[in-house]
């Protein structure tokens, strides 16, 4: 894919680090990436172009938009990703009339301008970096929920990359023109509390309050304690904060460490006992195993623990509130929390550290952002509802079963004849992903696509289904169990011995579908109800099935089918974490595939489908009708 990032980069803020790390992650996957910003010296191997995005004068904005439009046309850009309101504004107008989607990442609460109501400047898809921001966009900006993907900032938990970014931060950021002395501290056994963040704006006000209300008491109570101030813009610290800092330096000398910008943030984190910060600071500190008091511009979230992580992450560790009403910070409570921790230091648990690293892992975040690009491309191309039909057994004659999950060979051929007559073209999910990712041109996308899926891998799929599909020139998606030792529907008989036994294909028969160009999907190892299992067991059923099928059949597995359509949010996350691009359900899900790739709506097919029911179930309006009828 050919990706253009547009961003304001007058200094190296967190949004710039986010864009740079995404660019590097996607370049490593083979994508071509351009960065257009106020600087052409960002730490990336992507092609860089210097344009004054931060300049908001209308004449310059129009020149910026013209420059973006020229670049998009000249380089054949597939998607534009904007990282600030100014970047979204110029990108929106640059892409007017072009079939190129715009994705915007929103890093903070948005001011409501006239242009917001007149123009949808955020584009086709919006990435909100935390749950509170997603709620703000829905309730206050009035953005459609389906348009928003909640994806956190990614962090490369890697000291060398963090160091490189920090070096650029020092090079590009405002100089530390402060009257305060800068301390170069050496390693020490003494406990250290560090505030890490900017010292201007809202963060500066928080720092000033800490200097006045928290640090003096702690320095007096803990004689060995050192307090470090790490970050830029010290010259813009509020006057009250400057006065308090001067007093602390006079009283406590070298125990009050004014670090400013540093080329070694990971090193400082490694020798810090307790970190006060928000956003990316909190992520990196927790990922490094350092305890964090989450204090941001919006709120104080307290000491981050396994129990409080979800709430802290929802606010980006205190930086973003869900509603316009701000929250007053109780600095007395913060002081009490810091005091309690310093009296009895508690290391960050390995479970919390692993959870933070998994949630913010750059590789996973980059994959989800790429998925958002693909969704925006499909939406821009006008790819809407695609019927996804779910079949199971294709027997010679009707079965004496209460489950009714079969269509006889004779009736199934009628289905195929109907699809052919209606000029419906079967594709696979693997095909769909190739179009979404730009590997195949939209000019080849069928006018009336349909996806035919078949669960469990019964022997009659080999004897009846495969020959019929080949006769019509069709391919489908076959969902198989990862355990090839399962040779019949033992899950049905375990709950009801009266159910007829239905055999499962042999390995050789399954290989025949791969040879015929079918997509193979995973259906767990043993067909359990996933929500009834402990999550680790469910996750193992999911991930092991993918690995087993790829090894046995030598084919890439991109989609997963939930047995019984049984799922919840935790199971869906396990499917995503296992590396699946899509998860397909039964009679639940969004209006389109891109509404929720981990819960794709499939239409159940029964023994006695008629021409009218086939018409209904393959019509573009069917999903909306189904949702209206059942309230789903």
What DSSP letter does each residue of 452-495 carry, written as one string? EEEES-BHHIIIIIHHHHHHHT---EEEE-S-TT--B-HHHHHH
For residue 266, what pLDDT is reported? 83
Is the pLDDT assigned to residue 179 strictly greater than 50? no
CA 333, CA 233: separation in Å to the nearest integer? 27
Query: In angstroms, rounded to a whole number, what is the distance separating the alpha carbons of residues 458 and 403?
Result: 15
**Residues 6 or more apart whose Cβ sits within 8 Å of residue 487:** 503, 504
CB–CB of 559/583 below 8 Å? yes
Q: How confident is the model at residue 119, as a pLDDT?
A: 66
- Per the model's pLDDT, the better-predicted residue between 590 and 545 turns out to be 545
The CA distance from 194 to 226, in Å, is 8
> What does the pLDDT look like over 132-160, one tens digit per residue?
999 999 998 889 888 999 999 998 886 44
CB 265 within 8 A of CB 284: yes
Share of the chain above pLDDT 90, in %: 79
Burial of residue 326 (number of CB atoms within 10 Å: 0-12, 13-18, 19+): exposed
Average pLDDT for residues 400-417, to the nearest whole number?
96
- List pLDDT tens digits, range 432-469: 999 999 999 999 999 999 999 999 999 999 999 999 99
Residue 140 per-residue DSSP state: T
Question: Residue 158: its pLDDT value, please?
Answer: 66
Closest CA relative to residue 584, chosen from 550, 613, 606, 558: 558
CB 578 within 8 A of CB 542: yes
* pLDDT per residue as tens digits for the range 237-273: 999 999 999 999 999 999 999 998 776 788 898 899 9
**What are the structural domains, with CATH classification, of the chain?**
2-150 (3.40.50.2000), 159-360 (3.40.50.2000), 381-625 (3.20.20.370)
Is the CB of residue 287 less than 8 Å from the CB of residue 348?
no
pLDDT in the model for residue 623: 87
Q: In this predicted model, what pLDDT tens digit does every residue of 572-621 receive, in sequence order?
A: 999 999 999 999 999 899 899 999 999 999 999 999 999 999 999 999 99
Residue 434 CA: distances (Å) to CA of 428, 442, 578: 10, 10, 20
Q: Is the pLDDT of residue 388 over 80?
A: yes
283 CB-near residues (< 8 Å, 6+ apart)? 152, 153, 155, 317, 356, 360
> What CA–CA distance (Å, rounded) separates 553 from 511?
6
With 0-12 CB in 10 A as exposed, 13-18 as middle and 19+ as buried, what is 310? exposed
Mean pLDDT of 78-96: 95
Cα radius of gyration rounded to whole Å, the chain: 28
The pLDDT value given to residue 261: 78
Cβ-Cβ contacts under 8 Å for 347 (sequence gap 6 or more): 289, 291
pLDDT of 403 higher than 90: no
Give me the numbers of helices (H) and strands (E) for the chain, helices first please. Answer: 25, 21
Tell me the pLDDT tens digit for each residue of 183-212.
Answer: 444 434 689 999 998 898 889 999 999 999
- How much is the mean pLDDT over the chain? 91
Helix 279-287 crosses helix 350-360 at what angle (to 10 degrees)? 130
d(CA 602, CA 588): 7
- Phi and psi at residue 483, to the nearest 5°: -90, 105
> CB of 583 within 8 A of CB of 598?
yes
Q: Are 297 and 201 in contact (CB under 8 A)?
A: yes
Q: What is the pLDDT of residue 181?
A: 45
Residue pLDDT, tens place only, 2-18: 999 999 876 667 788 88
**Residues 575, 561 contacting (CB under 8 angstroms):** no
DSSP string, 560-612: EE-GGG---HHHHHHHHHTT-SEEE-SS-S-SSGGG-TTSB--EE--TT--HH
Closest by CA to 236, choosing from 208, 268, 194, 263, is 208
Rounded Cα distance between 264 and 167, Å, is: 8
Mean predicted confidence (pLDDT) in 68-74: 97
Region of residue 318 (left: phi > 0; alpha: psi -120 to 50; beta: else): left
pLDDT at 173 over 50: no
Residue 456 backbone zone (phi > 0: left; psi -120 to 50: alpha; other: beta): left
Give the pLDDT confidence score for residue 324 in this predicted structure.
Answer: 77
Residues 6 or more apart in contact with residue 401 via CB below 8 angstroms: 499, 500
Q: For residues 25 and 102, what is the distance between their CA atoms, to the nearest angstrom? A: 20
For residue 32, CA distances in Å to 3, 70, 380, 497 come to 6, 17, 20, 57
What is the C-alpha separation between 421 and 614, in angstroms, rounded?
Answer: 12
Dihedral sign, CA of 143, 144, 145, 146? negative
pLDDT-based confidence at 112, cuts 50/70/90?
low
How far is it, in rounded angstroms, from Cα 10 to Cα 40?
Answer: 11
- Tell whether the model's pLDDT for residue 330 goes beyond 90: yes
- What CA–CA distance (Å, rounded) separates 238 from 256? 18
Could you give the C-alpha distances from 596 to 367, 375, 592, in angstroms and in order?
Answer: 15, 10, 8
Question: Cα separation of 207 and 277, whole Å?
Answer: 10
CA 507, CA 499: separation in Å to the nearest integer?
A: 25
Grade residue 632 by pLDDT with cuts at 50, 70 and 90: low
């Amino acid at each position: 894919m050919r990706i253009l990032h547009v961003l304001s980069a007058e200094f190296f803020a967190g949004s710039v680090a986010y864009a740079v790390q995404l660019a590097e992650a996607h370049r490593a996957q083979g994508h071509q990436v351009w960065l257009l910003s106020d600087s052409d010296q960002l730490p990336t191997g992507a092609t860089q172009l210097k344009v004054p995005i931060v300049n908001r004068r209308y004449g310059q904005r129009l020149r910026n938009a013209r420059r973006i439009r020229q670049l998009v046309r000249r380089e054949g850009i597939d998607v534009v990703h904007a990282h600030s309101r100014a970047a979204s504004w110029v990108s929106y107008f640059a892409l007017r009339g072009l079939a190129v989607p715009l994705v915007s990442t929103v890093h903070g609460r948005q001011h409501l301008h006239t242009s917001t109501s007149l123009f949808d400047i955020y584009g086709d898809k919006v990435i909100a970096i935390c749950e509170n921001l997603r709620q703000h966009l829905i309730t206050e900006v009035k953005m459609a929920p389906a348009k928003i993907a909640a994806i956190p900032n990614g962090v490369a938990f890697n000291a060398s990359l963090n160091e490189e970014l920090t070096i650029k931060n020092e090079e590009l950021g405002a100089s530390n023109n402060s009257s305060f002395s800068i301390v170069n501290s050496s390693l020490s056994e003494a406990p250290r509390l560090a505030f890490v963040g900017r010292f201007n704006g809202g963060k500066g006000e928080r720092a000033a309050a800490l200097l006045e209300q928290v640090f003096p008491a702690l320095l007096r109570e803990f004689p060995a304690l050192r307090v470090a101030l790490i970050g830029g813009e010290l010259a813009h610290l509020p006057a009250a904060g400057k006065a308090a800092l001067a007093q602390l330096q006079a009283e406590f000398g070298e125990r009050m460490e004014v670090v400013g910008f540093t080329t070694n943030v990971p090193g400082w984190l490694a020798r810090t006992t307790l970190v006060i910060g928000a956003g990316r600071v909190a992520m990196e500190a927790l990922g490094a195993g350092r305890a964090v008091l989450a204090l941001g511009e919006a709120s104080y979230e307290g000491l981050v623990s396994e129990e409080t992580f979800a709430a802290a992450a929802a606010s980006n560790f205190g930086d973003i509130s869900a509603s316009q009403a701000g929250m007053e910070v109780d600095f007395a409570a913060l002081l009490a929390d810091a005091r309690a921790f310093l009296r009895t230091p508690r290391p960050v648990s390995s479970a919390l550290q692993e959870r933070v690293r998994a949630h913010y892992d750059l590789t996973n975040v980059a994959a989800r952002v790429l998925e958002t690009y693909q969704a925006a491309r499909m939406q821009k191309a006008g790819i809407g509802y695609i019927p996804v039909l779910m079949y199971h057994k294709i027997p010679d004659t009707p079965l004496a079963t209460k489950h009714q999950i079969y269509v006889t060979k004779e009736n199934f051929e009628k289905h195929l004849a109907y699809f052919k007559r209606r000029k419906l073209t079967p594709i696979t999910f693997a095909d769909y992903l190739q179009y979404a990712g730009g590997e195949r041109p939209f000019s080849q996308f069928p006018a009336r696509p349909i996806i035919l899926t078949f669960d469990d891998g019964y022997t009659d799929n080999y004897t009846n289904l495969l020959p019929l599909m080949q006769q019509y020139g069709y391919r489908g998606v076959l969902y198989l169990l990862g355990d090839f030792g399962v040779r019949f529907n033992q899950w049905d008989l375990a709950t009801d011995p009266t159910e007829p036994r239905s055999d499962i294909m042999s390995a050789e028969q399954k290989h025949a579908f791969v040879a015929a160009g079918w997509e193979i999907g995973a259906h767990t190892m043993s067909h359990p109800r996933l929500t009834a299992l402990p999550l680790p067991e469910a996750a193992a059923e999911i991930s092991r099935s993918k690995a087993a099928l790829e090894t046995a059949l030598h084919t890439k597995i991109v989609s997963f089918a939930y047995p019984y359509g049984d799922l919840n949010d935790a199971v869906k996350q396990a499917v995503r974490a296992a590396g699946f691009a899509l998860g397909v359900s039964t009679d639940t899900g969004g209006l389109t595939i891109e509404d929720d790739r981990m819960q794709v709506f499939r239409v159940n097919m029964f023994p006695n489908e008629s021409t009218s029911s086939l018409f209904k179930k393959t019509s573009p309006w069917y999903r909306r009708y189904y949702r209206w009828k059942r309230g789903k």
